[in-house]
Amino acid sequence: MKFSNYMNEWLYGKDGYYATYKEIGKSGDFYTAVSASKFFGGSVAKHIISLVDDGFLKKDGVVCEIGAHHGYFLADMIEFIYTLRPELLKTLKFVIVERFENLREFQKNYFKESFGDAISLTHYRSLSELRCENAFFIANEIFDAFGCELYYKGKTARVDGHNIEFDVDDEWVSSKAQKYHKDRGEIAVGYEEFAKEMALSCDKFEFMSFDYGEMLARPDFSIRVYKKHEVIPLFDENIKRDELFGKSDITYDVTFEHVKDAYEEAGVKFIELKPQMVALIDMGILELLEMLKENVEDKIYKQELEKAKMLIMPNLLGERFKMIRFRKEL
């Protein structure tokens, strides 16, 4: 079978990693910025308010998170909007695009417990079900969770059992590899369709996404498995793929140039790519921390500051992660 099918089965199959409920964070297999600090969502909330103030996002526009897992990121945004501009909670329409029924249920319950009837939350299984005029789309770590093909010196991988053989000639994969100057590495499958679906779903929107990677492809394989915070390269000689399959996360570095091309082909304008650290500072994370300092005890401020540092310190999540931003306007 194609490697992309194997990876999709690993992550999204009936017994796949995301199809069965998984903790992310301390007790899970890996951290995301969402599990590190609420100030991640807080900074995005501040940005959403600035989009409303600039007139790009209407007061009754859609705020939509894609691939929300527990929904904690969107919930953090809502909590900060409540603090900074409470009246917007009555007018903004909150949406989650989540393909898994069990996660949709978890998110519904979590939002009910956290906000009661104070906000409107709608779920869709896929972006293709959504139609709206004006939106802000947000996603954290989804482009590294699309199935990919593996390419090595002209050949594309095929999976037999759990063995990987490079002996297939695949024109599409080879052309992408040439375009991104890779002689080996991962070629993501599905960015083009995803970008088209988003472009068709809404007339005017901004899309912001955070992921691990670089604009240009790295000249090597980055595909790896996370098991209880241990990182195992997929081509590690001692790896037991049969035991890890479906039970641990599998991911790779995002080639942002590929994401950018997919959106531009769909008629959406690329705005910028920058380190997460810079993006969060530009959106106002330091002002939010300053507000906290003025309003809570020193001990609590210091605790929150330590967590927020994970997001903005260069050697932690701040530099390795990037923010990419797009806009569609008619």
Ligand X SMILES: C[S@@+](CC[C@H](N)C(=O)[O-])C[C@H]1O[C@@H](n2cnc3c(N)ncnc32)[C@H](O)[C@@H]1O
**Residues at the contact surface with ligand X, assessed by CB under 6 A:** 18, 24, 32, 34, 66-69, 73, 97, 99, 140-142, 145-146, 190, 194
What is d(CA 294, CA 292) in angstroms, rounded to the nearest whole number?
5
- Which residue, 106 or 166, is less far from ligand X as judged by CB? 106
Q: How far is the CB of 101 from ligand X (least distance, A)?
A: 12
What is d(CA 253, CA 222) in angstroms, rounded to the nearest whole number?
6
Please name which of 242, 249, 212, 253 lies closest in space to residue 20, comparing C-alpha atoms.
Answer: 249
- Which residue, 52 or 103, is less far from ligand X as judged by CB? 103
- Which residue, 219 or 233, is less far from ligand X as judged by CB? 233
Q: How far is the CB of 160 from ligand X (least distance, A)?
A: 25
Q: How far is the CB of 35 from ligand X (least distance, A)?
A: 6
- Which residue, 99 or 108, is less far from ligand X as judged by CB? 99
DSSP 8-state secondary structure symbol assigned to residue 4: H
- Which residue, 97 or 208, is less far from ligand X as judged by CB? 97
Please name which of 105, 123, 101 lies closest in space to residue 113, comparing C-alpha atoms.
Answer: 105
What is d(CA 177, CA 154) in angstroms, rounded to the nearest whole number?
9
Q: Is the dihedral of CA 239, 245, 246, 247 positive or negative?
A: negative
What is d(CA 33, CA 312) in angstroms, rounded to the nearest whole number?
10
DSSP 193-231: HHHHHHHHHEEEEEEEEEEEEESSPPSS---EEEETTEE
Positions of E strands within 80-131: 93-97, 121-124
Q: How far is the CB of 54 from ligand X (least distance, A)?
A: 26
Q: How far is the CB of 22 from ligand X (least distance, A)?
A: 9
Q: How far is the CB of 154 from ligand X (least distance, A)?
A: 28
Q: In what order do the strands lie in the sheet with 148-152?
A: 163-168, 155-160, 148-152, 184-188
Residue nearest to ligand X (CB): 67
Q: How far is the CB of 317 from ligand X (least distance, A)?
A: 11
- Which residue, 12 or 115, is less far from ligand X as judged by CB? 12
- Which residue, 19 or 52, is less far from ligand X as judged by CB? 19
What is d(CA 36, CA 22) in angstroms, rounded to the nearest whole number?
16
